[in-house]
């Protein structure tokens, strides 16, 4: 077979794979002031997309007990062309740090990150039932408290510019 034909087939297959990974269809979405979180439960994973009108970081947290305390927090930003994502745990109501610094593990997988036109969008996956005791268990059958936040700089140590929380059902998308 001609090497150009083989190269064209390879490129076509690669692009289909890339579009499938980066263009996930999400079943549910919540929005608040200049921030959104979309998600889909796919087997034993949650596929997530967080977007905010910022050139800084974006974050979503799951099931805090008070403010940020006890939340599994996924926080990311885009620095130039490089997207960064971190798995944090809310060790107190107003503070969080990397799971790995608290005896946990990094259980988030970066799918993509883009910063265009003043919007930062990060796509990721996390396990529904992580082996990390700091992550907790997510359920499609019950309510989940979400924290949505963003900052105006590419530093996860910078305080949030905006923060909100809401209760959702991850399976139905219903907001309470």
63-112 pLDDT, tens digit each? 999 999 989 999 999 998 899 999 999 988 888 888 889 888 899 999 99
Q: What is the pLDDT of residue 50?
A: 98
The model's confidence at residue 11, banded by pLDDT at 50, 70 and 90, is very low
The torsion of the CA quartet 162, 52, 67, 168, rounded to 10 degrees, works out to 130
Q: What is the pLDDT of residue 1?
A: 56
Structural domains in the chain plus CATH codes: 27-169 (2.60.40.1210)
Which residues have CB under 8 Å from 9's CB, separation 6+? none
- By CB neighbour count within 10 A (0-12 exposed, 13-18 middle, 19+ buried), where does 122 fall? buried
Q: What is the pLDDT of residue 60?
A: 98
Say if residue 18's pLDDT is above 50: no
d(CA 97, CA 22): 28
Q: What is the pTM of this model?
A: 0.84
DSSP 100: G
Closest CA to 51 of 29, 30, 36, 73: 36
Q: What is the pLDDT of residue 102?
A: 83
SS3 label, residue 103 = coil
Backbone angles phi, psi at 117, to 5 degrees: 55, 35
Q: What integer is the mean pLDDT of 154-174?
A: 89
- Percentage of the chain modeled with pLDDT above 70: 86
112-163 pLDDT, tens digit each? 999 999 999 999 999 999 988 888 889 988 899 999 999 998 877 777 889 9
Q: What is the pLDDT of residue 117?
A: 94
């Amino acid at each position: 077979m001609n090497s150009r034909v083989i190269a064209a087939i390879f490129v076509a297959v690669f692009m289909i794979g890339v579009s499938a990974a980066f263009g996930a269809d999400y079943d549910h979405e919540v929005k608040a002031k200049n921030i959104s979180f979309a998600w889909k439960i796919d087997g034993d994973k949650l596929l997530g997309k967080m977007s905010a009108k910022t050139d800084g970081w974006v974050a979503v947290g799951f099931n805090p007990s008070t403010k940020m305390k006890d939340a599994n927090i996924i926080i990311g930003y885009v620095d130039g062309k490089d997207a960064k994502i971190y798995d944090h745990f809310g060790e107190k109501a107003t503070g969080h740090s990397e799971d790995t610094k608290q005896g946990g593990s990094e259980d988030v997988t970066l799918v993509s990150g883009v910063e265009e036109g003043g919007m930062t969008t990060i796509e990721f996956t996390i396990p529904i039932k992580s082996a990390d005791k700091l992550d907790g268990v997510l359920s499609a059958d019950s309510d989940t408290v979400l924290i949505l936040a963003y900052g105006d700089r590419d530093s996860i140590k910078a305080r949030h510019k905006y923060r909100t929380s809401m209760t959702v059902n991850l399976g139905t998308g219903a907001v309470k």
